[in-house]
């Protein structure tokens, strides 16, 4: 007697990626949670009085030199009227933050933001970015770009880990010598990042699952291209043969903003070293930044298309 064949297991249903409507609903919920958690409301600004208030806030935070305003109310009004992202952040009826994003070829370029000092540490910046994501998706925009100073460790972690953005280009001295109260006297190297709003990396980050990396767990261990000397200055290390095909670590100082005040010469050394090492690895077209560790190190890997 022939044994019956076992019944085949039903084929698993393929996981359907979220459609635009599902994605937008999730983005709105995440933005609402973030705003509620920070105790703020975020909304588009309208009218010249609101633009004046936003410009005043920008000037208080960034402290530009006289005669060199960060933004004018009239120009901000034009951006808002033409459909760009111009928002105010309010807490207890008081404007405590603002952000400008301009419509661009890629979708939206987030140009400038400011939050007053007394609400820092409340994740207000995170709430603004999640509002920006939902606002963009509502308009069919799926890519947002912005720049940040790659020497600022907390900003690197925020952008690459907490938001899930991806570095696209190293821009040496992008704005020229800075003349505001935050960056005065420093070269303006910037890292341009792209935020794929519909991608899994950003979606997970916006649901509270940052892209964390642990350099100590890498196997094989990563090569160190830029490190911190005991005296706080940078030291570039020659990569051994074949190391460029693996993961490379590039460190930044713990607090470059404080270092600019206490030791401008050392801060300048870090700028030049990071430009040479991180900028050089990114500019060769074969490497990409894949993460940033809490301890202040970029992870750079060989692009998949360049792996033999």
Which tens digits make up the pLDDT trace of 43-100?
A: 999 999 999 999 999 999 999 988 888 999 999 999 999 999 999 999 999 999 999 9
CATH class given for the domain over 24-141: alpha beta
Assess whether pLDDT exceeds 60 at residue 7: no
Assess whether pLDDT exceeds 70 at residue 195: yes
Model confidence pLDDT, tens digit, residues 96-138: 999 999 999 999 999 999 999 888 889 999 999 999 999 999 9
CA 62 → CA 129, 145, 184, 254, 258, distances in Å?
19, 21, 10, 22, 16
Q: How is the chain split into domains, by residue range? A: 24-141, 215-306
3-state SS class at 17: coil
Can you give the pLDDT at residue 285?
Answer: 85
* CB neighbour list of residue 9: distance below 8 Å, 6 or more residues apart: none
* CB neighbour list of residue 286: distance below 8 Å, 6 or more residues apart: 244, 302, 303, 306
Residue 114 near residue 62 (C-beta atoms within 8 A): yes
Preceding omega of 136 cis (within 30 degrees of 0): no
Cα 59 → chain centroid:
22
3-state SS class at 53: helix
Please give the share of the chain, as a percent, with pLDDT higher than 70: 89
- Beta bridge partners, 192, equal 147, 169
pTM (2 d.p.)? 0.89
């Amino acid at each position: 007697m022939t044994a019956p064949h076992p019944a085949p297991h039903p084929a698993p249903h393929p996981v359907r990626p979220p459609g635009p409507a599902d994605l937008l609903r999730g983005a709105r919920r995440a933005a609402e949670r973030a705003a509620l958690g920070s105790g703020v409301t975020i909304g588009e600004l309208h009218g010249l009085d609101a633009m004046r208030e936003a410009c005043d806030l920008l000037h208080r935070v960034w402290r530009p030199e006289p005669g060199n305003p960060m933004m004018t109310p009239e120009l901000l009004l034009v951006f808002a009227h033409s459909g760009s992202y111009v928002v105010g952040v309010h807490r207890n009826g008081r404007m405590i933050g603002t952000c400008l994003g301009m419509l661009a070829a890629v979708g939206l370029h987030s140009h400038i933001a400011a939050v007053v000092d007394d609400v820092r540490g409340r994740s207000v910046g995170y709430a603004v970015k999640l509002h920006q994501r939902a606002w963009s998706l509502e308009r069919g925009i799926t890519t947002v770009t912005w720049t940040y100073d790659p020497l600022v460790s907390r900003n690197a972690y925020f952008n690459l880990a907490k938001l899930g953005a991806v570095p696209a280009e190293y821009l040496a001295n992008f704005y020229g010598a800075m003349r505001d109260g935050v960056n005065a006297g420093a070269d303006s190297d910037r890292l341009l990042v792209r935020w794929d709003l519909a991608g899994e990396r950003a979606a997970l980050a916006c649901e509270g699952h940052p892209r964390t990396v642990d350099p100590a767990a890498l196997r094989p261990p990563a090569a160190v291209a830029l490190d911190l000397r005991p005296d706080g200055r940078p030291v570039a290390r020659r990569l051994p043969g074949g190391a460029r095909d693996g993961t490379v670590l590039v460190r930044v100082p713990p607090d470059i903003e404080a270092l600019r005040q206490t030791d401008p010469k050392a801060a300048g050394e870090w700028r030049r070293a990071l430009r040479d090492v991180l900028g050089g690895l990114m500019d060769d077209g074969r490497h990409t930044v894949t993460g940033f560790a809490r301890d202040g190190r970029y992870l750079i890997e060989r692009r998949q298309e360049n792996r033999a």
